[in-house]
């Protein structure tokens, strides 16, 4: 009889749904899954400029090992070397003529590195996400007030997200001088670096964006908070995760950064078993996806004000707690019945 009770409890354990999510969108964002790939191409007469071709291939190969880029050589007769940058949608970002070997090295390093990306890489193990704001000096006060309010509001609702938020949000403010060093980065996202409107990005994971760049009138506390909540959401939330995960910046992800994130998360996102489980979740989620072009988190609606956002997060939290309580009650009842039957049959023997 005891054997059947044990079997019954084991079966119950397998049938009971998890009360918390296995992974959040942020955690999957550290993996290599659905990672937007940038492309570096050299148009050149390969028969004439052999040294330039070798230099380009050698450097691009090194970058491609640790970054979200691909590279190729495009042969064009009587063509001097030109490097073309393309984003993950195949759109041309920029092109640069390079004749000397040093020019090729500088061109590739400028595309893959910048002060902002180096800072994000150095702090990747300490942050939940980065709020990156580009603005002229005259707009900095206004932009900072939006960011400060978003930080306050997020701190009030973060305890109700699917997983505990232990790391900090890191705001980064970049002025006109700093913008000059991030021109290629902004171009890669389709943002005009010469625009006079302030621009904010929410960057998380392996250089991914939580939503479209916030520019001009779209730059609001509500939109910023929506993007922050989205990356803390359960990856099985039912929305189309492809645009959220695919939108990236050119970003180097070396072994040191991988190890730092593994320590922070408590597991290795690049482990084959973890990647396999994440891929299965994403395939199931995307096959039942909700059609949305705005990357809307399931706990948010476009017409919600900030109080409603907090209420919706709390409602979702309450629903999860309610489900947990119901399953605990069911388990307790099953356990009492099992123990009662065991004692009953033992007393008859």
- Residue 65's H or E segment, with its range, is helix 50-66
CA 216 to CA 147: how far, in whole Å?
14
* Residues in CB range of 311: below 8 A, 6 or more apart: none
| Helices 50-66 and 101-112, packing angle to 10 deg | 20
pLDDT recorded at residue 345: 65
> Degrees (nearest 5) of the Cα angle 110, 114, 118?
135
Query: Is the predicted pLDDT of residue 112 greater than 60, yes or no?
Result: yes
CA 44 to CA 62: how far, in whole Å?
20
Burial class (CB in 10 A: 0-12, 13-18, 19+), 189: middle
Spatial CA neighbour of 205 closest among 127, 307, 141, 151: 127
Spatial CA neighbour of 33 closest among 21, 25, 22, 43: 25
Query: 306 with 225: CB under 8 angstroms?
Result: yes
The model's pTM is 0.76
The two beta strands, 82-86 and 92-97, are: antiparallel
Greater confidence, 124 or 348?
Answer: 124
pLDDT recorded at residue 78: 86
Query: Is the predicted pLDDT of residue 332 greater than 90, yes or no?
Result: no
Query: Is the predicted pLDDT of residue 289 greater than 80, yes or no?
Result: no
> Degrees (nearest 5) of the Cα angle 152, 25, 114?
75
Give the sign of the dihedral formed by CA 263, CA 253, CA 174, CA 230: negative
Mean pLDDT of 287-315: 42
Which structure tokens are listed for 112?
């893959």
Confidence tier at 283 by pLDDT (50, 70, 90) = confident
All domains of the chain in start order, with CATH: 25-30+126-316 (no CATH), 38-112 (3.40.30.10)
For residue 165, the tally of other CB atoms under 10 A from its CB is: 18
Which structure tokens are listed for 237?
């939330």
21-53 residues labelled b (16+ CB within 10 A) or e (exposed): bbbbbbbbbbbebbbbebbbbbbbbbeebeebb
Find the range with the poorest average confidence among 9-13, 100-104, 340-344: 9-13
Residue for token digits 């073309």?
A: 84
Query: Is the predicted pLDDT of residue 219 greater than 60, yes or no?
Result: yes
DSSP state of 18: P
Mean pLDDT of the chain: 81
CA 306 to CA 155: how far, in whole Å?
13
pLDDT recorded at residue 158: 85
Which structure tokens are listed for 213?
């760049």
């Amino acid at each position: 009889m005891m054997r059947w009770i044990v079997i019954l409890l084991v079966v119950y354990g397998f049938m009971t749904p998890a009360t918390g999510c296995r992974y959040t969108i942020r955690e999957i964002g550290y993996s290599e899954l659905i990672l937007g790939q940038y492309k570096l191409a050299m148009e050149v007469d390969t028969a004439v400029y052999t040294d330039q071709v070798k230099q380009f291939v050698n450097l691009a190969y090194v970058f491609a090992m640790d970054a979200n880029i691909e590279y190729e050589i495009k042969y064009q007769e009587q063509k001097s070397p030109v490097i073309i940058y393309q984003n993950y949608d195949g759109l041309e970002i920029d092109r640069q003529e390079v004749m000397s070997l040093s020019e090729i090295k500088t061109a590739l390093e400028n595309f893959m590195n910048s002060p902002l990306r180096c800072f994000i890489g150095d702090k990747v193990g300490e942050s939940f996400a980065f709020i990156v704001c580009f603005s002229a000096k005259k707009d900095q006060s206004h932009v900072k007030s939006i960011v400060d309010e978003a930080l306050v509001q997020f701190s009030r609702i973060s305890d109700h997200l699917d997983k505990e938020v232990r790391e900090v949000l890191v705001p980064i403010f970049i002025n006109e001088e700093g913008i000059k060093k991030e021109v290629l980065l902004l171009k890669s996202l389709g943002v005009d670096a010469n625009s006079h409107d302030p621009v904010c990005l929410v960057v998380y994971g392996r250089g991914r964006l939580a939503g479209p760049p916030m520019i001009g009138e779209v730059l609001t506390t509500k939109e910023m908070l929506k993007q922050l909540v989205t990356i803390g959401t359960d990856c099985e939330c039912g929305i189309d995760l492809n645009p959220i995960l695919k939108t990236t910046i050119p970003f180097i992800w070396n072994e040191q950064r991988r190890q730092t994130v593994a320590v922070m998360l408590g597991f290795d996102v690049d482990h084959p078993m973890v990647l396999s489980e994440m891929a299965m979740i994403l395939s199931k989620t995307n096959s039942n996806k909700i059609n949305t072009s705005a990357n809307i988190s399931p706990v948010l609606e476009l017409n919600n004000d900030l109080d409603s956002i907090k209420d919706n997060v709390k409602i979702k939290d309450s629903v999860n707690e309610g489900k947990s309580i119901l399953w605990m009650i069911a388990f307790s009842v099953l356990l009492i019945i099992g123990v009662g039957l065991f004692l009953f049959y033992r007393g008859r023997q």
